[in-house]
Amino acid sequence: MLAHDLLDIWAHLRSPVHRLDARVKLVCATALVVAILATPIARPWLLAPWAGVLLAIAAASGLPASWIAKRLAILAPFLALGATALVFVPPTETADAWQLAGIELSREAALVWLSVGGKCLLALLAATLLTGATASADLLRAAGALGVPRTLTALTGFAITYLVALGDEAGRMVTAWRSRGRVRGPVRNLRVAGSMFATLMARTVERAERVALAMVARGYRGRMPVLTAERAPVTQIAGAAAFVVAVAATFWLGVHA
């Protein structure tokens, strides 16, 4: 039994965000990410409206703040590395210098760090909210319905399935390892971990071959069958269109102000 809740653990809540059609959420998230990434680097303060929108969506979704923070924490080392690099970038002129705790920083480099870091953080937050409030299967069907190439959606679906399968199999192997007694010494632990990894990869290849043969035998031709093709509600389509227009208008006003 595969533990698909490993990826879709919060996708079945009953919040207003969860009840939206997956296609609507995907279109809105794409528009928001495009606006975030297109924000001029020299104006990092223009990211504030998008941060407010995402925080409002996060509050409405009911997703745990700790769960969101753990997924955003992946950026922490990169942001820390960028902040450290600011110390070694000298200002080009006196007007470009910022004084912070006795350290002279380049204003231009600091703006670049704030802009790039903010864009990465907000884009990751948008992706986290989208995947947290939408089941992976619904998200793949929505992407296919919106014209994403079939090969890409199929490969993504297989990757999600095998990530779950790998996590499930690795959990069973770790449980069996612990039940047989503790191995003492870092060298022995590394040796056991290497053996487990090699076994896991071998089992994965064997399982992939069996699954591929079974799917071809059942008539798979690169697309999963859809039992019911539901149309998105008209109100949600109108709301998505209004959201995209609002995002475009806010971006235009911010850039040309």
Instruction: Lowest mean pLDDT of 23-37, 108-122, 140-154, 163-177, name the range.
Output: 163-177
User: What is the spatial distance between Cα 42 and Cα 49, in angstroms, rounded to a whole number?
Assistant: 16
Count of beta carbons in the 10 Å neighbourhood of residue 17? 19
Assign 214 to helix, strand or coil.
Answer: helix
Of 222, 237, 229, 243, nearest to 23 by C-alpha is: 237
> What pLDDT, in 10s, does the model give residues 23-62?
999 999 999 999 999 998 888 888 999 999 999 999 999 9
In the chain, DSSP assigns E strands to: 97-100, 103-106
- Enter the tokens of residue 102: 């006795």
DSSP code at position 181: -
Tokens 């995907």 found at: 26
Res 1: pLDDT = 44
- Which band of pLDDT confidence, cut at 50, 70 and 90, is reported for residue 180? confident
Indicate the pTM of the whole model.
0.80
